[in-house]
Amino acid sequence: MVKEYNPYLEYVKDELFLEGVSLRELAEKYGTPLYVYSASYIRDRLREYRESFPGALICYAVKANFNPHIVSLMAGEGAGADIVSGGELYVALMAGVNPSRIVYAGVGKTVKELVEAIKADILMFNVESRMELEILNQLGEQLGKKVRISIRVNPHVDPKTHPYIATGMKKSKFGIDIDRAEEEYRYALSMKNIQVVGVHCHIGSQILDTSPYVEAVSKVVDLYRSLEDQGIELQYLDIGGGLGIKYKPEDRALTPMELSSALSPILQKVKATVVLEPGRSLVGNAGVLITQVQFVKDKGEKHFVIVDAGMNDLIRPAIYDAYHHILPVVKRGRPSIVTDVVGPICETGDFLAKDRQLEEVGRGDYLAVLSAGAYGFAMSSHYNVRPRACEVLVDRGYVRVIREREDYQYILSKSS
Ligand SMILES: Cc1ncc(COP(=O)(O)O)c(C=O)c1O
Ligand SMILES: N[C@@H](CCCC[NH3+])C(=O)O
């Protein structure tokens, strides 16, 4: 069953290994909480995207996991980057992503960020408002550049995911309403320092079904063709990211091949280069979070396993009530119990699992929290003055620390 999450994850004699490396040994050596990622898994997923969408530009969504070594691994495999901040641009460039493969979305880009990206000569800005378009035109003039843009359209499609990660619905802050897009294209075309190159949409994240994509991409292709009829030719059709992964044992990930098959009748109608922006589906199940049991507490009505990873390390359960599968790093064959797995933070929302059936554990045991490679470390914080975790990359038996564990001095280093 563990292999369904990641084929490189397996129990060998009751001990959990990732790409041939014992997770118990890594935890003993580097301490916990510890993020461990599998490089081969990431390469395999990228290959799957390339094979499913030949000729497409795959721009890894850096927000899912911004570790420069991870981004560099993607760049080495030819991926571009989807960024949403100046910080992500900095990471992408530092990691060796070719600027001609960087796309930049986000509703609130600052002038500083826009200037940095114009100077870097990225492929295109996915513009989310008329005001952003105007500012970009002004900055282009000041910098003596023509700025390449796509319009991020909001196609009003329900992606059937958690409401906090649905981005293409009528009331969401993202993009420009698709009904008003043609007007915005005409406006953009009238601007001296803007070069219109594409159209973009991203309807949400952790989507497990092709139908919202079919609905959204059909609307976007209708727009593309209508613009084409008016003599406006777009070179890029960016359909965003969002493919869902396996979190619960009963989940089935949406594969790039399934998406490609569902979209191919629609995409056949366009000459533009397809752009994809996957994040979670490339790194989510590449990673596990290893945590150590501190205490076990039985309150009669409720049983708690208290571990050293908190909501500051993995916030997804707290903010989305997200499910992450949890396994013992060493199976001891004890009877199972029903328990909450909670962290040390002073918040009732600080939990990793609720009412979870788990093999009974004791102080010092290690647990592996699965599907933690995306939006795990990337969303971690210093809450309660907790140094952020160490990150390790395993690659065909080799182990590399790709981010050292922080300490208290590091947290306070800007507070002198
Ligand atoms: C514009 C944009 N592109 C791509 C992504 C990546 O999404 P996912 O990690 O679900 O593939 C996101 C995040 O939802 C996003 O906001
Ligand atoms: N942070 C979210 C995904 C957000 C996607 C960003 N648009 C998650 O953990 O699922």
Domains in the chain, please, with CATH? 2-37+284-412 (2.40.37.10), 105-278 (3.20.20.10)
pLDDT value for 416: 81
Helix (H, G, I), strand (E, B) or coil at 178: helix
- When mean pLDDT is compared across 94-98, 130-134, 172-176, 233-237, the lowest value belongs to 172-176
- For the residues 14-22, what does the mean pLDDT come to? 98
Q: Is 166 a residue whose pLDDT tops 80?
A: no
What's the CA-to-centroid distance between 242 and ligand 2, angstroms?
A: 9
- Which of 202, 203, 239 has most ligand 1 atoms within 8 Å of its beta carbon, as the pocket-test mutant? 202
Active-site position among 59, 201, 346, 390: 346
As given in the structure block, the two tokens for residue 280 are: 């979670």
The answer on whether 278 is annotated among ligand-binding residues is yes
Q: What whole-number percentage of the chain has pLDDT above 90?
A: 94
Using one digit for the tens of pLDDT, what is the confidence trace for 122-132? 999 999 999 99
Q: How remote is the CA of residue 15 from the centroid of ligand 2, in Å?
A: 31
Q: Is the minimum distance from the CB of 279 to ligand 1 under 6 angstroms?
A: yes
Q: Write out the two tokens for 269.
A: 């109608």
Q: How confident is the model at residue 170 (pLDDT cuts 50, 70, 90)?
A: confident
Report how far residue 244's alpha carbon sits from residue 242's, in angstroms, rounded to the nearest whole number. 6
pLDDT band at 269 (very low <50, low <70, confident <90, very high): confident
Instruction: Give catalytic status of residue 346 as yes or no.
Output: yes
Total residues belonging to the chain: 416
Closest atom of ligand 2 to 375 CA is: 9
Give the global pTM.
0.97
Q: How far apart are CA 210 and CA 239, in angstroms?
A: 13
Q: What is the pLDDT of residue 286?
A: 98
Condensed to tens digits (0 to 9), the pLDDT of residues 333-361 reads: 999 999 999 999 999 999 999 999 999 99
Which atom of ligand 1 is nearest to 280's Cα? 9
What spacing in Å lies between the alpha carbon of 242 and ligand 1's midpoint?
5
Q: Report whether 375 belongs to an annotated binding site.
A: yes
pLDDT at site 165: 75
- Which segments of 198-346 does DSSP mark as H helices, in order? 211-229, 256-267, 280-283, 316-320
Query: Residue 149 phi/psi, 5° resolution?
Result: -135, 155
Q: Whose CA is nearest to atom 10 of ligand 1?
A: 242
Strand 194-200 and strand 351-359: the pairing is unpaired
* Pocket flag, ligand 1, residue 292 (CB < 6 Å): no
Q: Of 312, 308, 326, 320, give the one whose Cα is nearest residue 376.
A: 312
| Ligand 2 centroid distance, CA of 166 (Å) | 9
Question: Contact at 8 Å (CB) between 56 and 34?
Answer: no
What does the alpha-carbon distance between residue 194 and residue 139 come to, in Å, rounded to a whole number? 10
Residues with CB under 6 A from ligand 2: 63, 165, 167, 205-206, 316, 375
Closest-CA residue, ligand 1 atom 13, reads: 205
Nearest-ligand number for the alpha carbon of 376: 2
CA nearest ligand 1 atom 5, residue: 241
